[in-house]
Chains A and B, each alone.
Chain A
Amino acid sequence: MQFPEITMDYWLDGWIIIIAILASVSAAILGNFLVLRRLSLLSDAISHSILPGLAAAYLLTANRYSWTALIGAIAVGLITVWLTELIGQYGRVDEGASTGIVFTGLFALGLIMIVQAADRVDLDPNCVLFGDIELSPLDSIETSLGVIPRSAIVLTVCLILNTLFVVLLFRLLRIATFDPQLAASLGVSPRALHYALATLVAITSVCSFEAVGNVLVVTMFIVPPTIAFLLVNRLPMMIFVSVSVAALAAVVGHLSAVAVPVMFGYKSTSTAAMISVVSGLFLALAILFNVKTGVIVRAFRRNQLAWAILRQDILALLFRDSERGQAARSLRDITTTLLSQSWITAVALRGLVWRGYVTRVNIQVSSDSSNSGNGIGYTLSNDGRRHAQNLVRSHRLWEQYLATTGTQLDRIHAQAERLEHFTNPALRQQLDSETQQPQSDPHGKAIPPEEK
């Protein structure tokens, strides 16, 4: 593997990136509402089912971009939604199943139309699935601003349309998304909004059809808004983040489509497919590491408490040792006493050493004959002693308190062992006064004084 020598044609690659950004961003804007309204599969259904509408338009006009194509796609998109409702209502099946019936049927119809008309229309069935973004800059027209690819113009119009829809109807969409009942009581028909969204999804699918095809456009509808959904809480912010992620994925996607295969000795691969892969990777990162609900972040947080408790247990153990006059303990000794595992104890001890609560000393290990000799032991520092003393004080105060409430003596230790980790100075003060400032706990151990 060697670092690739990427050669880029700035006109061609520049336009590919611009077209990719336009397509991703227009889809992502609408996608926010699809994801929030749990209509993600609507994009999948419509992007498949517009095929017969497009095929019919191609047959009629033999032109990729035409009003006929647009109208055909919108009509079939709306029919999809209507048929899905109808089948769900009368067939007593859930929405997923009725969607599945409608879009497979329409897609099959479109496929047959395309194959039958293959001599007359330059539409390759494979291209239907993943588009042909690499070739789209070649189909360009002269404008007053220079030579501009046709699909860039179409997608710009689509982006403006989607943006206007979201901006102008923002309040309405927000109410209808988060509180459908309120929206209905305000006179907003949820069905009208549903059909409006379906229309725009159909328009966006048909505009980005040549660039990304009908499967990969689903990524652009769903993935960036889902990432934004994981990262932020408020709708305007979510839309902003989703649009930024979509644009970033488009740029990184094209660069990796050009660069990654070259590393393995091949030529570049499909940009649309790589945008999809890159978005998926972004999403994986968001699922694992986002601040609110990230899998790893959550696991870390959950474990943090366990670690803190283990560290406190070690401190308390060392404090009790010092009461008995034992100066230090080895790692192995601590592990067996606390019923822990040695690597976990080692990590916890490292944390304590790093905080300055525990210091390493050399000790004579004599308890185990096979392993006798010099070893490393751990003992409390002054800081650690103060913390440990308060912990043990909490423990013994709790024991005393529980004993006065009439809890059986053989149970108080276990309860105090738990409660000691969640006791602050104020609570200790209260326990102290509730139990008339005892000098020793029910087991006869002295209760150490509070340390500031």
Chain B
Amino acid sequence: MILFGIMFGVIFGMLWECLSFHTLGIAMLLETVTVDSVAPLTFDYNTRVVVVGTSLLGFAGGAIGVLLLLRKRALIGDAIAHATLPGLALAFFIATSLQIDGKSLWVLLPGAAITGLIGAMTVVVIRTFSPIKEDAAMGIVLSVFFGAGIAMMRIIQQMPDGYAAGLEAFIFGKTASMRFQDAWLIAVSGATIIGLLVLFRRQVELMCFDESLARTQGWPVAIVDIGLMAAATTIVIVGLQAVGMILIIAMLVIPAAAARFWTWRFWPTIATSSFIGCIGAASGAIISTMAPRVPSGAAIVIVLVILFSFSALFGRKNGTVWRWARRFQQRRETDQQHLLRSIYEWLELKGAKPHDFGQTRSESFLLNELEFVRNWSPSRLARTANRFQRDGLLVQLSQNRWALTATGIQQCVRAIRQHRLLELYFAQIANLSPEAIDRGADYSEHALDDQMLAELERDIAGASIGYAVPDSLHPIGNVNSSNGQSRNEANP
């Protein structure tokens, strides 16, 4: 919340600086770094307006996007955006026939807002009063309204004197057409939306997570919902110029979805999403001013997608890299436990069970004869064994002959006890067959912590077990070799 406020304050401040006292502040900052090598980084006044305007848009869009995402209404913005086209065309048409400047934003944006809201309401009406599902309703509104808009645009283009030139900017976005007052319009709308969001934070949060609770507590959910729709419409309308109606939905969806890879808590998500939206919009706008042939909407979306991909890869929550790392770690631990267990079983079969009292080193065993791990690749086996040697659990006596150290014996006994206690549990409680209990124990032994182990000792094995290792419930050699394949597949 606080971070959120500060961020918005800074951006708003930047706008104020570069608009009112542009010889000071950010402008000064940019002047000071003016050397030839970074010449493209110093912008003229217009560019600064555009950049600050779009970054504000990205900020507000990111915040509202999270709410839409949580309400599972992310694509309603797309329907609204497409539905603005007939409004734009109609407003232009009416204004021109009344001899008013049809390209003034004061004419176009109210027109766009009206049909945009009509579009959003049509989705709700269709969904409520007919058996048509929401996805179809959105597709219908999106394409039919857009079709109506295109039909009108084609007629407008026939008007004399090239009146209509420039209206296309609203379809794909053209930051070059943004002016000083447009940036202010975005700033004021953004500030209003953020202000309302902070004012109604409790209601909004409750509604996003538990709508029925919000209802029973007497909050007017419908009104807050309509407010949310109005906010989304506002973002779409003021963003039309910068991003265009086809891609404005990205400003609402992508930052919010990217933020989900960083945090799952409500306000941090909103702050992260706003931050991502802000950065993406600003850099996209900068790119499109430097490369004038790139439509600004497309540039912003590409930057946002890059930010999203970065989040999806490196985000702390469910980011791909972390997920892989975790899976790799898990697999390594599983391998280690399996190796320890098969060492114990091998030694047990030879009548040389390791004891964790008084024995400083176990009898030696042959690594390549271990049952359970025998269809591991040699490198996997060697890797796991070598890691154990590094950690001081195993010692290598000769080429293939190894032995457990004192620590190794402890770990080994722990691993086999876990497995056999679980087998006992499955045999007693679930009454499974010997094969099934072995497999069941294989699946779940890696998740066993000390607490659960103690419970198993108490409830299943009884007080007599002490610290001893229970006997296996199934013949070790035969079962393992017949099941070796399937058990190895079971390893995650």
Residues of A within 8 A of B (CB): 35, 38-41, 43-44, 48, 87, 90-94, 96-101, 104-105, 107-109, 111-112, 115-116, 118, 125-126, 129-130, 215-216, 218-219, 221-223, 226, 229-230, 257, 261, 264, 266-267, 269-270, 272-277, 279-280, 283, 287, 293, 295
Contacts and interface: CB of A to CB of B under 8 A. Distances in A.
A38 B126 CA distance: 15
B82 interface: yes
B260 A100 contact: no
B479 interface: no
Contact of B147 (A39, A104, A264, A272): A272
B155 A101 contact: no
Contact of A129 (B136, B246, B256): B246
Contact of B72 (A38, A96, A261, A269): A96
B143 A222 contact: yes
B484 to A, nearest CB: 29
Contacts of A221: 139
Contact of A101 (B146, B147, B254): B254
A237 to B, nearest CB: 16
A38 to B, nearest CB: 5
A226 B132 contact: yes
Interface in B229-263: 246-247, 249-250, 252-254, 256-257, 260-261
Given A99-B75, A280-B147, 15 more contacts: A44-B143, A92-B318, A97-B72, A105-B305, A107-B247, A108-B302, A112-B295, A125-B172, A223-B140, A226-B136, A276-B143, A276-B147, A280-B148, A283-B144, A293-B131
Contact of B250 (A105, A115, A219, A280): A105
Contacts of B305: 101, 104-105, 108
Interface in B4-22: none
Nearest to A218: B143
B249 A215 contact: no
B151 A270 contact: yes
22 contacts: A35-B133, A39-B135, A40-B136, A41-B75, A93-B256, A94-B72, A100-B253, A104-B305, A105-B254, A105-B301, A105-B304, A107-B246, A108-B247, A108-B302, A111-B297, A115-B294, A116-B294, A215-B246, A216-B146, A216-B150, A222-B139, A276-B151
Given A125-B295, A222-B140, A226-B140, A216 B147 contact: yes
B151 A277 contact: yes
Contact of B129 (A216, A264, A266, A287): A287
Contacts of B260: 91-93
B442 interface: no
Contacts of B168: 126
A283 B140 contact: yes
Given A35-B136, A40-B135, A229-B132, A97 B253 contact: yes
Q: Pick from B143, B145, B152, B155 the residue with the most CB of A within 10 Å.
A: B143
A45 to B, nearest CB: 10
A44 B139 CA distance: 7
Interface in B201-251: 246-247, 249-250
B142 interface: yes
A280 B151 contact: no
B147 A100 contact: no
Interface of B: 69, 72-75, 78, 82, 126, 129-133, 135-136, 138-140, 142-152, 154-155, 158, 168, 171-172, 246-247, 249-250, 252-254, 256-257, 260-261, 264, 293-295, 297-299, 301-302, 304-305, 308, 312, 318, 320, 323
A270 B89 CA distance: 14
A206 to B, nearest CB: 17
A130 B256 CA distance: 30
A266 B135 CA distance: 36
Contacts of B154: 261, 269-270, 273
Contacts of A107: 246-247, 298, 301
A279 B247 CA distance: 25
A105 B143 contact: no
Contacts of B301: 104-105, 107-108
A97 B74 contact: yes
- The SS class assigned to the B binding surface is helix
Q: Pick from A96, A109, A116 the residue with the most CB of B within 10 Å.
A: A96
A2 to B, nearest CB: 17
A115 B295 contact: yes
Nearest to A134: B154
B257 A93 contact: yes
Contacts of B302: 105, 108-109, 112
A166 to B, nearest CB: 19
Nearest to B315: A91
Nearest to A261: B155
A261 B159 CA distance: 12
Given A41-B135, A108-B247, A267-B158, A273 B253 contact: no
Given A215-B146, A216-B143, A293-B130, A96 B74 contact: yes
Contacts of B131: 229-230, 293
Contacts of A275: 147
B150 A87 contact: no
- The SS class assigned to the A binding surface is helix
Contacts of A108: 247, 250, 297-299, 301-302, 305
Nearest to B319: A90
Given A92-B260, A129-B150, A273-B148, A101 B133 contact: no
Given A40-B135, A93-B69, A222-B136, A287 B126 contact: yes
Q: Pick from B133, B144, B302, B323 the residue with the most CB of A within 10 Å.
A: B144
Contact of B140 (A90, A126, A264, A280): A280
A291 to B, nearest CB: 13
B330 to A, nearest CB: 17
Nearest to A41: B135
B151 A273 contact: yes
Contact of B293 (A115, A277, A279): A115
A223 B144 contact: yes
A274 B147 contact: yes
A373 to B, nearest CB: 48
A43 B75 CA distance: 14
A48 B246 CA distance: 9
Given A222-B143, A276-B148, A90 B171 contact: no
A280 B144 contact: yes
A217 B246 CA distance: 15
Contacts of A112: 294-295, 298-299, 302
A88 to B, nearest CB: 10
A221 to B, nearest CB: 8
A100 B249 contact: yes
Contacts of A257: 151
A92 B258 CA distance: 10
A293 B250 CA distance: 36
A97 B148 contact: no
Nearest to B76: A96
Nearest to A131: B150
Contacts of B249: 100, 104
B102 to A, nearest CB: 16
A92 B74 CA distance: 13
Nearest to B306: A105
Given A108-B297, A276-B146, A41 B74 contact: no
Given A41-B138, A215-B142, A97 B147 contact: no
Nearest to A42: B135
Q: Pick from A93, A125, A272 the residue with the most CB of B within 10 Å.
A: A93
Contacts of B136: 35, 38, 40, 222, 226
A191 B167 CA distance: 42
A24 to B, nearest CB: 12
A287 to B, nearest CB: 5
A92 B260 CA distance: 7
A295 to B, nearest CB: 5
A109 B298 CA distance: 7
A24 B327 CA distance: 48
A167 B299 CA distance: 43
